[in-house]
Amino acid sequence: MAVIRGSMPSFELFQPTSVDAALALIGRHGAAARILGGGLDTFDALQDRVVQPAALVDLGGIAELQGIREVGGGLEIGAMTTLAEIARHPIVQSQFAVLARAAGAVGSPQIRNQGTLGGNVSQSTRCWYYRSGWTCYRAGGNSCFADTPTAVNREHAIFDLDRCVAVNPSDTAPALVALDAQMVVRSSRGERVVAAEDYFLGPDIDITRMTILDAGDLLTAIRVPATWAGAHFQFEKVRDRKVWDFPLVNIATAMKMSNGIIRDIRLVVNAVAARPRRLHEVENAVRGKPRDAATATLAGELAIKGAQPLRHNTYKVALTRNLVQRAIRG
């Protein structure tokens, strides 16, 4: 049964000024702590009472989590860097334009000024059954209310359906996977670096969370290597409204060309599964081929292989195919 929205649970607020202090607080409170970045996802979850933490750890005062730094031809971006700063940063725009375009497609200008990169990639699903407090699989129950004959599932998954059919709503996540980015995660046990492609989880691995972050973990930075700097990039997002809306489907592409031939490519779609979906089969099929209509048609058909649409989201199959074809054609 859904819960009544509008009132937040009580919690204790902490505002550390260093990563070490934040980790100490997170370690002390464990699963009862909630990390606050830009707050856009967190305050929604608090109001919906999807989460009811005893402690809220606000990262806004930690300077080392903010900013964009050049490192070895690539970039290191603090997890608390705003989406607006990323979208307008000259090096991101010139060398890693797919990330600038993805960050610039999030929400509205007000949201981009407040929202952070770390928050955008780590946000929870927007499935209205889950967010409204229904006791679904993801919330610890034994049903998926979005996968029933009478469900409203227009915005849900068409791939990798495994009990939960919620989708990942991030715009920057597919861009980071396309750029072969690395996520820097710190905890009391030390630091570990995880490929962006492995940062996200599907329900087959853990149905209760969407990233590898566990209690005590903190995403501190995102590293973008020089590998794809200056490549041919494309980002496209289809949504119901031009601003302030989550993707129905989005796509991020990084491509290296030589004399009209696709030499290498990374192609990632999102909002079609619980995690960004890298199209390995499509990438393998188009390498060494010309960037033309025939290659685009092949890519589009391979991209939708295995799709299992629900009652109200069959349109996502054609939408995914067409976006992949457009990405190949340019």
CA 328, CA 199: separation in Å to the nearest integer? 26
Half-sphere CA count of 15, side-chain side, radius 13 A: 2
Q: Would you state the pLDDT for residue 47?
A: 72
pLDDT tens-digit profile of 268-326? Answer: 999 999 999 999 999 999 999 999 999 999 999 999 999 999 999 999 999 999 999 99
Residue 180 lies in a domain: no
The bridge status of strand 249-258 relative to strand 232-238 is antiparallel
Name the strand (E) or helix (H) holding 320: helix 315-329
Residues linked to residue 251 through DSSP beta bridges, in sequence order: 236, 269
Residue 215 lies in a domain: no
Q: Would you state the pLDDT for residue 9?
A: 76
pLDDT tens-digit profile of 72-111? Answer: 999 999 999 999 999 999 999 999 999 999 999 999 999 9
The set of long-range contacts for 187-194, using a CB threshold of 8 Å and a minimum separation of 24, is 187/23, 187/26, 187/27, 187/216, 187/217, 187/218, 188/23, 188/24, 188/27, 188/216, 189/216, 191/220, 193/223
Inter-residue contact 130 to 51 (CB < 8 Å): no
CA 240, CA 97: separation in Å to the nearest integer? 24
Residue 243 lies in a domain: no
DSSP 40: H
Is the predicted pLDDT of residue 113 greater than 90, yes or no?
Answer: yes
- Domain range for 36 is 13-61
Residue 52 lies in a domain: yes
Provide the H-helix boundaries in 72-180. Answer: 83-88, 90-95, 97-104, 109-114, 117-122, 128-131, 172-178
Residue 26 lies in a domain: yes
How many helices (H) and strands (E) would you count in the chain? 13, 12
CA 181, CA 194: separation in Å to the nearest integer? 9
In 10 A of CB 330, how many CB atoms? 11
Is the predicted pLDDT of residue 30 greater than 70, yes or no?
Answer: yes
Residue 212 lies in a domain: no
Q: Would you state the pLDDT for residue 1?
A: 44
> How many distinct structural domains can be found in the chain?
1
pLDDT tens-digit profile of 2-21? Answer: 455 567 778 899 999 999 99
Q: Would you state the pLDDT for residue 243?
A: 83
Of residues 129, 84, 134, the one with CA closest to residue 107: 84
DSSP 222: E
Half-sphere CA count of 189, side-chain side, radius 13 A: 8
pTM assigned to the model? 0.94
CA 116, CA 252: separation in Å to the nearest integer? 19
CA 104, CA 237: separation in Å to the nearest integer? 11
Which two structure tokens, joined as six digits, stand for 275? 């995690």
- Domain CATH for 54: 3.30.43.10
Residue 17 lies in a domain: yes
Q: In the structure, what pLDDT confidence band is assigned to residue 242 with cuts at 50, 70 and 90?
A: confident
